[in-house]
Structure 1
Amino acid sequence: MSLKIISNAKNLQVIYEDNHLIAINKRAGDIVQGDKTGDAPLSEVVKEYLKTKHNKPGNVYLGVAHRLDRPTTGIVVFAKTSKALPRLNKLFAEKDAKKTYWAVVQQCPETAQETLVHWLKRNTKQNKSYAHIKEVAESKKAILEYKVIKKLDRYFLLEVDLKTGRHHQIRAQLTAIGCPIKGDLKYGFDRSNKDGSIHLHARQLSFIHPVKKELLNLIAPLPNDSIWKACSP
């Protein structure tokens, strides 16, 4: 199912902005950076927003420091200056940012709280990663911690702290323990969401501001659907 592209410069959900950074609450369907689809990326939408808001002539600088999967929602941080971008890149590369996700699953994990360690091998043709218990050729170690934080009528809400940043890591590791994310057909859920999204949300991001050197703790509001509403604190 194709995802609807719904972000534009007028409806952009800005979580935080200063002279150096801007954080967006990404909608499902937005691609962070341009790809082979040719669809307008979120980075260009943010540029248009900044150009209009600040009445900037000419080109607007914006640096992409990290990404979220297209069907995933939540926090994406962009650099507004060439000074901030390499520092932001270093921060994410060295895992100095604490990333917390929320995921909705139908099958409750056997253990309410656990650290998962797998070896992920990426299949580029399928655009999919496979989780292995032991190291295999061309695999990368993947670590996350999860805990069940809420029981819904038919689903369970997990809070996931990402320790490594691998391709489709949360999706692959949760599937490996029999808990595919709601709507995620690629990783084994039995039916899609109507809008093509999956119920995986980059909920919180904490890091030291690369220029101001102050702690930033960003929280992304949940998407507006009945399942996410039931997850609200």
Structure 2
Amino acid sequence: MPEKLLSSKDNLQILHEDNHVIIVNKRVGDIVQGDKTGDKPLSEVVKSYIKEKYNKPGNVYLGVVHRLDRPTSGIVLFAKTSKSLPRLNKLFQEKEAKKTYWAIVKNRPPKDQDTLVHFLKRNPKQNKSFAHKKEVPDSKKAILEYRILKELDNYFLLEIDLQTGRHHQIRSQLSAIGCPIKGDLKYGFDRSNKDAGINLHARKLEFVHPVKKEPVNVIAEVPNEPLWKACT
């Protein structure tokens, strides 16, 4: 992954910031939290940005509310205060935060719009979730709604509303209907993207601010790449 494509404190794409929350547009290749790779996570990049911008001494508080897979791009929300983190966690747990995704797939879905219901079983060794039509042991129910937003040359842009938040849910469910996401080798696409990412983007987030009680609506620009730009 070219280093220049990853986020740093100087190139963060900040979509919203106030005293309690900060929302950024994650680049393909960023990891939200630290993992076994040892690569610097986005959470640490955001801390560095806050520390420098506000000249904060000592450690900076930052709470991770949710995650995005490394090869995806788009909206990531962080809590800047210990007061807002449990409230934001509750918003997500109670499905009061509306998340909308865009995905580019090669095959036309069976229907122009539909609700998909599967039971996902995660295989930790493969870091992969398998979609089943009926419940199987240790599976979790997964629901999403999609619609075709645009027909591109050789591809289709889908808009997806998540009803549940499961491991690799969108990737697994779209693959199950014969529509793997462009670049997603793990879920059946035939070749990788040059940046090792996949064409899945967390496009929109809507929620009521946990402290101010005002609506927050953010939209993340798609990556600066020709196919994505054709979508807007």
Give 2:132's aligned residue: 132
User: In structure 2, how many angstroms separate the alpha carbons of the residues matched to 1:7 and 1:98?
Assistant: 25
The whole-number CA distance in structure 2 between the counterparts of 1:120 and 1:217 is 30
Residue 12 (structure 2) aligns with: 12
Number of positions where the alignment pairs a residue of Structure 1 with one of Structure 2: 231
Aligned to 1:38: 38
**Matched position secondary structure for 1:172:** helix
1:151 match: 151
Retained in 2: the 8 A contact 1:106–1:154? Answer: yes
Q: Determine if contact 1:73/1:223 at 8 Å carries over to the other structure.
A: yes
* Shift in Å, 1:3: 7.1
* Alpha-carbon distance in structure 2 between the residues aligned to 1:215 and 1:23: 14
Q: Distance in 2 between matches of 1:71 and 1:62?
A: 23
- Note the C-alpha offset of 1:63: 0.4
Alignment of 1:163-202 (within 5 A): 163-202=163-202
SS in 1 for 2:230: helix
Distance in 2, matches of 1:154 and 1:226, equals 13
Contact 1:3 1:28 in 2 (8 A): no
Per-residue deviation, 1:69: 0.3
> Which residue matches 2:142?
142
Q: Counterpart of 2:133 in structure 1: which amino acid? A: I
Matched letter for residue 210 of structure 2: P
The aligned runs of 1:70-89 (5 Å cut-off) are: 70-89=70-89
Structure 2 gaps of 5+ residues are none
Corresponding position of 1:23? 23
Q: Per the alignment, do residues 10 and 212 of structure 1 end up closer, same or farther by CA in structure 2, a change over 3 Å counting?
A: same
Post-superposition CA distance 1:43-80 (Å, at most 9, x none): 00000000111111111110001000000100000000
Task: Please tell me whether the aligned partners of residues 3 and 71 of structure 1 are also in contact (alpha carbons under 8 angstroms).
Answer: no
Residue of structure 2 in register with 1:224 after alignment: 224
Deviation string for 1:138-167 (max 9, x for gaps)?
A: 000000000001000110000000000000
The percentage of counterpart residues that share the same residue type is 72
CA distance in 2, matches of 1:206, 1:74: 14
Structure 1's 140 and 3: CA in aligned 2 closer, same or farther, altered over 3 A? farther
Following TM superposition, where does structure 1 have runs of at least 4 consecutive aligned residues deviating by more than 2 angstroms?
2-5
- 142-151 or 86-95: which moved more? 86-95
- Superposed CA offset, 1:78-132 (max 9, x none): 0000000000111111111101000000001010000000000000000000000
Q: Aligned ranges for residues 55-70 of structure 1 at < 5 Å?
A: 55-70=55-70
Q: How big is the alpha-carbon RMSD for the aligned residues of Structure 1 and Structure 2?
A: 0.9
What is the alpha-carbon distance in structure 2 between the residues aligned to residue 26 and residue 149 of structure 1? 22
- Name the CA distance, whole Å, in 1 between partners of 2:138 and 2:73: 29
Structure-2 separation of matches of 1:224 and 1:154: 19
8 A contact 1:3–1:197 mirrored in 2: no
The one-letter code sitting in structure 1 at the alignment partner of 2:48 is: E
CA–CA distance in 1 between the matches of 2:152 and 2:187?
Answer: 22
Could you tell me the TM-score, scaled by structure 2's length? 0.98
Contact 1:3–1:196 (8 Å) recurs in 2 = no
